[in-house]
Structure 1
Amino acid sequence: MDADRTGAGEPSRTLALLWGEPAAPRRGPARSVAVGRLVDAALGIADEQGLAGVTVRAVAERVGISPMSVYTYVPGKPELLDLMVDALYAGMARPDTGDRPWRERVTEIAHANRELLTRHPWLTEVAALSRPPLGPGVMAKYEHELAAFDGTGLSDIDVDASLSYLLGFVQSHCRSAHDAARAVTDTAMSDEQWWSANQPILARALDPDAYPRAVRIGAAAGEAQGGAWGASQAWAFGLARTLDALATLIEGRDHHV
C-alpha cells in the first residue's frame, strides 16, 4: 500500500505532474481523460468515503476507465494525493488584506485553513507540513500567507516559523475536532448523551477529596462547553493564545536581522 501522506511519491514525477510538464511520448491509444478529471474524482471519493476509499480502482470506476489506465496518468497513490492537496490549495480564496493590521491578516489565514480542513477532514491525515506538494497551489498559498506578516519587522526565518506555528495550531485543532465528530458518529451518541450515560459510575468513582481540582474544574468546564472538550471554545481560546504568542515576538522585543 502506498503511503497516505504528501511528499511520499517519486519527486521528479510528482513535480512534473503538479506543474503540468508534458509527458514523454508513449505508444498505444490516445489518452481518453485529463489528469484533472482523475484528481476531481479522487477528491469526491475522499470527501464522501474518507481517504481509505481513494483507491486506483475506485478512481478508475468513477472516471470510466480501467484501473491499469490510471497508471498511465499518475504513477501511484502518493502522487495522486499530492495532486489532490495542491488542487485544494489552488482553490482557496486569497483576498487582499494588506491594509489591515497584522493580527487581522493572520486571523484571516487561520480561519481560511480551518474552513478548508473542516470541509475536507481527511486533509489533516495527509497534509504534512514538512513535505508539502510543491505545486502551483502550494506556492500560491504560501506566498499569500507569508504576506500576512508584511510590515511586522520579523526576519525571513521568523516569518516562516511564525506561519508554521500558526498552521500547526490550526491543523492540530482540526484533527481534534475531526476525531470528536467521528466519536459521535461511531458511538451514535452526542457528547452530552455519553456523559449522561456514564454519570452514575463517574459520580461513584470520582472522589472530590481525592481529586479536588479534577472534579471541580472538570465539572465547570464540562458545563460550560457541553463535554470534556468543545471545538468552538478550544478554537477561540487556542487562536487567541497563538496570536498573543506571535504578538510577543512581533511587538515585545527587538527583532532578529
Structure 2
Amino acid sequence: MTNTTEAKDEPPYLRIAREIRRRVEEGELAPGERVPSTRGIAKEWGVALATATKALTHLRLEGTVETKPRVGTVVAAGPGTTSRGRRTPPSGTPAVPPSVRPDDQELTLDRIVRTAIDIADTEGLQALSMRGVAARLGVAAMSPYRYVTGKDDLILLMADTAFGEQTYPATPPDGWRARLELGARTLWSLHRLHPWLAQLSSLTRPLLLPNLLVHGEWSLSALDGHGLDTTELFDIHVLLFSHVQGLAVHLEREAQAEAATGQSEDQWMDSRAHTLQGLVDSGRFPTFTKVVGSFHDGYDLRLDALFERGLEALLDGLAPVIESGGRPRG
C-alpha cells in the first residue's frame, strides 16, 4: 500500500495513470473500451493537457492501453488479460504494446504523419508532440526525426495530408454556384473531420500547401470566365474560405475551453446566468432582452446549420456581382 508521503510526492501524471490502471484491473474498463481522452483527464483531474498526455503516454508504453484510428485510446487486449477479460497489472520494465511493436511494421513518414493526425483528431493539437508520436508508434523518441525535422514541419505535412483526403469530380457540376457550394461543403467536411486545421493559419498568412491549393483551384476556376477582374475574383474566393474557417475555428476552441475550465458549454452558460440576468434587467438592451426571453429552452448554437445559412446568404449576395461580371447593375 502506498504511504501518504509517496502519494504526495508522486507526479500527477503517475497518479492519474495509476487510477486508470486500477479501473482496468478491477473491471471498470474492459478490453477495447475507450479510456478518458486527454481532455477528459484534464477535466476530471483538473490538470493541464500536457499532464494528461503524459499519463496516457505512460499507460501506452506499459501496454495498458493502445490507440485505435478514429476511435481513440482504448484498453489494450491480448496477453496479460485475466480470466475476467481484464488486463493484469504490468510488472517490471514497461513494455511496448504488442500492437505497436516497431518490428511489426516498418517506420515510414506516412505512418508518422497518420499517427500525428490521429492524435490531433482525438486529443487536440495541443496534445501533439514528437515524443508523443514516437510513444504511440512504439519507437525510440528520436526515431521520427529521421523523417521530419520537427513538430512545425510535421504539422504542415499533417495539414497537407488532411486537405488531400477529399478531392473533386473530373466533370464539375453545371454552374458557378453548384461548384462553389461543393467546394465550400468539401472544405467544411474536412474541418469537421480535423478541427485543428482551422487553428493553423490566418487569412493574411495562408498555408502554401499543394493539397489546400487543390480546393483553391476548384473555387477560382468556378469563378473564372465570368468577367470578374482578378482582384474581385480572388476576394470572393477568400471570402468563401473565411466563412468556412471562421466557423470551424470554434470546433477546436470549444474543446480546448471545456478541457481548461472543466465545464461543458451548457455548464459555462449556466454559471453566467447571474451576469446575463443583470444585462437583461438593466433595461439598456430591449431587443436583446426580447430575443433571449423567447428562448424558453435556451439557444442551441448549431455550427452546421450556421454554415449552410451563411453559405446561402453569401452566394445570394454574390450572385448579382458574379453574373454581371463584377459591374454594378444599372
Q: TM-score, normalised by structure 2?
A: 0.58
Q: Which runs of 5+ in 2 are unaligned?
A: 1-105
Residue equivalent to 2:323: 251
Contact 2:124–2:252 (CA under 8 A) maintained in structure 1: no
User: Which has more helix, going by share of residues?
Assistant: 1
- Which residue identity lines up with residue 177 of structure 2 in the other structure? R
**Distance in 1 between residues matched to 2:189 and 2:326, nearest whole Å:** 34
- Which residue identity lines up with residue 178 of structure 2 in the other structure? E
Contact 2:227–2:325 (CA under 8 A) maintained in structure 1: no
Q: How far off is 1:36 after superposition?
A: 1.3
Residue equivalent to 2:244: 170
Q: How far off is 1:105 after superposition?
A: 1.2
- Which residue identity lines up with residue 142 of structure 2 in the other structure? M
1:131 aligns with 2:206: yes
Residue equivalent to 1:75: 149
1:214 aligns with 2:288: yes
Identity of aligned residues (%): 29
Deviates more, 1:140-149 or 1:84-93: 140-149
- Which residue identity lines up with residue 147 of structure 2 in the other structure? Y
- Cα deviation digits, residues 169-207 of structure 1 (max 9, x gap): 11001123444466567555453x665676577446522
1:149 aligns with 2:223: yes
Structure exhibiting the larger radius of gyration computed from Cα positions: 2
1:65 aligned to 139, 163, 168, which one?
139
Residue equivalent to 1:122: 196
Q: 1:92-131 counterparts in 2 under 5 A?
A: 92-96=166-170, 98-129=172-203, 130-131=205-206
Aligned partner of residue 206 in structure 1, secondary structure: helix
Residue equivalent to 2:164: 90
**Distance in 1 between residues matched to 2:300 and 2:126, nearest whole Å:** 29
**Distance in 2 between residues matched to 1:34 and 1:181, nearest whole Å:** 31
**Distance in 2 between residues matched to 1:56 and 1:159, nearest whole Å:** 40
**Distance in 2 between residues matched to 1:234 and 1:249, nearest whole Å:** 23
In angstroms, what is the RMSD of aligned CA positions? 3.0
Aligned partner of residue 191 in structure 2, secondary structure: helix
The structure with higher relative contact order (CA 8 Å, sep 6+) is 1
Q: How far off is 1:38 after superposition?
A: 1.0
- Cα deviation digits, residues 100-148 of structure 1 (max 9, x gap): 221121111111111111111111111444231433x233333233222
- Over 3 Å counting, the alpha-carbon distance change for 1:223 and 1:107 in structure 2 is farther
- Over 3 Å counting, the alpha-carbon distance change for 1:215 and 1:118 in structure 2 is same
Aligned partner of residue 95 in structure 1, secondary structure: coil
- Cα deviation digits, residues 2-33 of structure 1 (max 9, x gap): xxxxxxxxxxxxxxxxxxxxxxxxxxxxxx53
Residue equivalent to 2:311: 239
Q: TM-score, normalised by structure 1?
A: 0.72
Aligned partner of residue 149 in structure 2, secondary structure: coil
- Over 3 Å counting, the alpha-carbon distance change for 1:233 and 1:173 in structure 2 is same
- Cα deviation digits, residues 11-69 of structure 1 (max 9, x gap): xxxxxxxxxxxxxxxxxxxxx53211111111111111111221111111223332222
**Distance in 2 between residues matched to 1:202 and 1:144, nearest whole Å:** 44
Aligned partner of residue 122 in structure 1, secondary structure: helix
- Cα deviation digits, residues 56-92 of structure 1 (max 9, x gap): 1111122333222222211111111111000111221
Contact 1:105–1:148 (CA under 8 A) maintained in structure 2: yes
- Cα deviation digits, residues 146-173 of structure 1 (max 9, x gap): 2222443323333222111101111001
Residue equivalent to 1:158: 232
